[in-house]
Amino acid sequence: MSKPKYYVSRQIVRQALYVSALVWITYATYWLCSNDNNQNVLDPSEYSIYDMNSEQYILQQKLHPPEPSSPSPKPIKKPSGDFKYHSTVLTLQTKMITNDDRGIDKHSLIYNDIFQDHGVDSVFGNLDFNQRCDLYFRNLFSHDHNWVFDPNRQLNDFESEEFKEFAKENEEAFKKAYEEIDSVRVSLRQFISEQWLQKTAVVREQTMSDYLATTRIFNKCYVTNDNKDQIKKNEDFISQQRQILEQSGKQVTPFTNTKFESMLDPSTYGASKFEYRVYPWLSRSFPIYERWTGEVFSNPPNMKQLLKSSNQESKKSINKKASKTQSKFLNQLKNSSNGKGIVISIADKHVDDTVNLIRLLRALKNALPIEIVYNGDLSKESKKKIIIAAREDFKTLPRSFNNVANMFGPGYFDPNQHGLPRQEVWFINTNNVLNNSYKEKFQGFANKLLATLFNSFEEFILMDADTIIMTNPEHFFALSGYVKSGALFFKDRAIFSRRSRGDATMFKKLSPSIVDKLMFDIPIMTDHSLKREFFKGLHHYMESGLVLLNRNKHFSSILLMQQLNFITTITNKVYGDKELFWLAFALNGDEDYQFTDHFAASAGELTPAAERVKSDGVNYQALEICSAHPAHLNPDDGTSLLWINSGFRNCHKANSIDYGSELVLGTKFKNIKTEEAFKAFYSSPLRITHAIVPPLSPDLGLLENIEGEPSGGWMLEGYCSAYMFCGYSSIGGKTTSGESNKLEGKLVTFDESARNLFNYLGDIWVGIE
């Protein structure tokens, strides 16, 4: 496939095309203006815009000789974004956008083309939602027949010829500048790369902006356009807009297609064609759905029907009705989701964790179906292990069960049946959903994004294999944040680690623009997103070890999430998939998502007071929990523990630790004296008596103090291969000025029955009898 030149160097291409373009545009304009009363004009259908020998062309040359095209051609287009200052746009903006706190607004270049050719009033005053969709994609296509969202497009490609040329051309100047100003901070290569990034920033940002705007608009126009609420909202929006124009006394001019637009056959830019251009990486097949029994389906199964009856006949998949000619794959995918379930995205290396998780789910009396999503290869042995964990009799319970037996009620454990309830497990292979050309784009963490799109549930809990939940999964769906929005996210540890200021600006530029709102009712980003510490510069914001989503409600945001995965300028700024979930929502204009209030806690046991003594012999005020597990409190009560990450052992990496070097660290766990004792401790289940949510200072900074108290909420101590963090219940203290900057976090003390439950679940997961 050829590269989309339109975006590679749009300006250059434009200028290069100037000569021929000017010629026929002059002609086309003339033709349009004089069509009816100029007897000399020939039947347009007989005329080619490319035909320079035609009578039309020659006549045109005589009437309106083109201006000389050199030495400095006048640009054909007005400066970009002129339309934004048109009085109609300003009126609509004032009336329809009450609050804009972004401080920056960047729009897709397609709008420049649209409003170059059409009066602002004629578009807003005449076109309904579908006509606007049509206009957008017609323009996108007509200005670049090769347009495609290219997942392989490297926006900061240091391997490219352009970069090499740039580096070579400026070699001497860069060397000089480098030695004078920057040789301490970075290498010469880095220095030049930075210059390149700066030089190409404008093009890069515009390309990203166009990609994302086009994805958003495509989704709203052609994927979720069958949603009744959306249709109603669109109609209200358009009529409100017309009312505003009427009241303001605007003269609405009729809308006419340009000559060029009217020459496009709708099949060239329509929804079904453009699905291939916006999502070229999709093969447009469903994944393979394999039940634990070995039954295999090629369409999303209807779990409810399937589970209700063991009758062979009812085991139908849901998509019978969709016809083969229906090319709107994504719409069909959206329609096919059904029911509630648990989704776990894994590879072979996660199989032991997965087995433990399934045992845990049995202990929690889980009745939801579980979909294990993998990309390409999950070995037969792995599947077998998982099925055994889900289906074999589970009758031997750890001794710690005695302390919690009354919590689960009668019928929890049926010794005459299979012991703990068996699980309905499915394997979903996403390998064939991807076009071969793009398979390598979904390695590693990105599988989780695919799992989000291709599991079969309408509502699901997406978990990592090493995520531990402390309560029955159904309770998660009842959390108020989820009920309210259909998308509940959890925050990460609020670790003092900053991102560059430019990040916030970039994400604002990529978010929906004012014209996206006025044309398509795609809301601009508000404080709901902008007030988050991420935009103030906090590096880690979301913890994606557990995510709750309603796929139907947020289908278009989930699609945008996949697209973000291809843009390395974005993925370089976030760790793995972590932030992509909520950022996709924010960048999609879908702010109907909720985060829990608390940042992640440190869960485990308090460091004994005897080990919390300062050099002057006084005890620290700040309590401490050192734990390798970020923990998440129930947002609805603020005191119960919902889930933790990184398995249930004290140290998830227990089998690959250099115990000798951890033993000599000597700062924590002072009562552990030998390597063997360390290994035994790391391998055993985490015991949880307390949790601490450390405070975060409003400016995200450290609270230096003269009392020797912690200045930040989290400290990395090097234990558990540096996966263990110590969290503090307070930070700051008296400062040199005599005042106190102390901030308190949150300490939760779990009661006896909660501790017993954690012990039981820990024993189940680790496999202790």
Ligand X SMILES: *[C@@H]1O[C@H](CO)[C@@H](O)[C@H](O)[C@H]1NC(C)=O
Output the six-digit token pair for 339.
């029911």
- Which of 225, 253, 335, 684 touches ligand X by CB under 6 A? 335
Rounded to a whole number of angstroms, the minimum distance from the CB of residue 305 to ligand X is: 18
Cis peptide before 71 (omega within 30 of 0): yes
Task: Output the smallest distance, CB 378 to ligand X, in A.
Answer: 23
Instruction: Look at the chain and count its residues.
Output: 769
Distance CA 186, CA 199 (A): 18
Smallest CA-to-CA distance from 692 within 751, 764, 607 is with: 607
Shortest gap between Cβ of 215 and ligand X (angstroms)?
Answer: 17
- Does 1 contact ligand X by CB under 6 A? yes
Q: Is 260 exposed, middle or buried (0-12, 13-18, 19+ CB in 10 A)?
A: middle
Residue with tokens 């097949």: 285
Q: Residues 226, 295, 414, 751: which binds ligand X (CB under 6 A)?
A: 226
Backbone angles phi, psi at 734, to 5 degrees: -65, 140
Burial category of 435 from C-beta neighbours within 10 Å (exposed 0-12, middle 13-18, buried 19 and up): middle
Q: Which is nearer to ligand X, 61 or 432 (CB)?
A: 432
- Interface with ligand X, residue 467, by CB under 6 A: no
From 326-334, 461-469, 706-714, 759-767, span contacting ligand X (CB under 6 A):
326-334
Kindly state whether residue 81 participates in binding ligand X, applying the rule CB under 6 A.
Answer: no
CB of 323 to ligand X, least distance (A): 8
Half-sphere exposure for 327 (CA within 13 Å, toward CB): 10
Residues 235, 255: Cα–Cα separation, whole Å: 19
Least distance (Å) between residue 254 CB and ligand X: 32
Closer Cβ to ligand X, 51 or 226, answer by number: 226
Options 58-66, 324-332, 346-354, 686-694: segment touching ligand X (CB under 6 A): 324-332
> Nearest approach, Cβ of 290 to ligand X (angstroms)?
22
**Binding of residue 127 to ligand X (CB under 6 A):** no
Q: Which stretch binds ligand X (CB under 6 A): 161-169, 320-328, 606-614, 727-735?
A: 320-328
Q: Interface with ligand X includes 332 (CB under 6 A)?
A: yes
Distance in Å from the first CA to the final CA of the chain: 59
List Cα–Cα distances, 147 to 161, 215, 328, 601, 706, in angstroms: 22, 13, 19, 47, 61
Under rule CB under 6 A, residue 432 binds ligand X: no
- Determine contact, residues 574/529, Cβ cutoff 8 Å: no
In whole angstroms, how far apart are CA 590 and each of 104, 525, 553, 567? 19, 8, 10, 20
Contact 630, 598 (CB under 8 A): no
- Alpha-carbon distances of 162 from 63, 196, 260, rounded to whole Å: 43, 10, 33
193 or 335, CB closer to ligand X? 335
Binding status of residue 322 toward ligand X by CB under 6 A: yes
**Contact between residue 110 and residue 139 where contact means Cβ atoms under 8 Å apart:** yes
Q: Which of 107, 328, 491, 578 binds ligand X (CB under 6 A)?
A: 328
* Minimum gap (Å) between residue 432 Cβ and ligand X: 10
Choice between 226 and 676, CB closer to ligand X: 226
Per CB under 6 A, the segment of 330-338, 499-507, 659-667, 711-719 that binds ligand X is 330-338
**Contact pattern for ligand X over residues 690 through 729, marking x by CB under 6 A:** ----------------------------------------
Burial (CB count <10 Å: 0-12, 13-18, 19+), residue 459: buried
Q: Which is nearer to ligand X, 61 or 283 (CB)?
A: 283
Q: Work out how close the CB of 101 gets to ligand X at its nearest, in angstroms, rounded to a whole number.
A: 36
The closest of 445, 650, 654, 434 to 547, measured between CA atoms, is 445
Stretch of residues binding ligand X (CB under 6 A), selected from 155-163, 214-222, 329-337, 474-482 = 329-337
| 61, 547, 555, 696 from 701: Cα distances, Å | 68, 29, 37, 8
Selected binder of ligand X within 170, 327, 435, 505 (CB under 6 A): 435
From CA 297, how far away is CA 315, in angstroms rounded?
10
Q: Pick the binder of ligand X from 241, 331, 557, 594 (CB under 6 A).
A: 331
314 binds ligand X per the rule CB under 6 A: no
Closer Cβ to ligand X, 27 or 129, answer by number: 129
Query: Among 116, 130, 256, 283, which residue sits at the site for ligand X (rule: CB under 6 A)?
Result: 283
Q: Which two tokens stand for residue 209?
A: 């902006």
Is 337 a binding residue for ligand X by CB under 6 A? The answer is no
Phi/psi at 460 (nearest 5 deg)?
-150, 155
Using CB under 6 A, count the residues that bind ligand X. Answer: 12
* Smallest distance from ligand X to CB 223, Å: 10
Could you say whether residue 152 binds ligand X (CB under 6 A)?
no
The DSSP code sequence of 415-434 is TTTTBSPP--EEEEE-GGGB
| Residues in contact with 125: Cβ distance below 8 Å, sequence separation at least 6, in sequence order | 242, 245, 250, 252, 253, 255
Nearer to ligand X among residue 84 and residue 277 (C-beta): 277
From 191-199, 310-318, 327-335, 462-470, span contacting ligand X (CB under 6 A): 327-335
Q: Which is nearer to ligand X, 285 or 571 (CB)?
A: 285
**What one-letter code names the amino acid at 577?**
D
Residue 326 interacts with ligand X (CB under 6 A): yes or no: yes
Which letter does DSSP use for residue 378 in this model?
-
Give the dihedral sign, CA 301/307/308/313.
positive
272 binds ligand X (CB under 6 A): no
**327 lies in the binding site for ligand X (CB under 6 A):** no
Report the residue from 437, 480, 661, 674 that binds ligand X according to the rule CB under 6 A. Answer: 437
Helix (H, G, I), strand (E, B) or coil at 173: helix
Does position 195 bind ligand X by CB under 6 A? no
Residues forming contacts to ligand X in the complex (CB under 6 A) are: 1, 226, 280, 283, 322, 326, 328, 331-332, 335, 435, 437
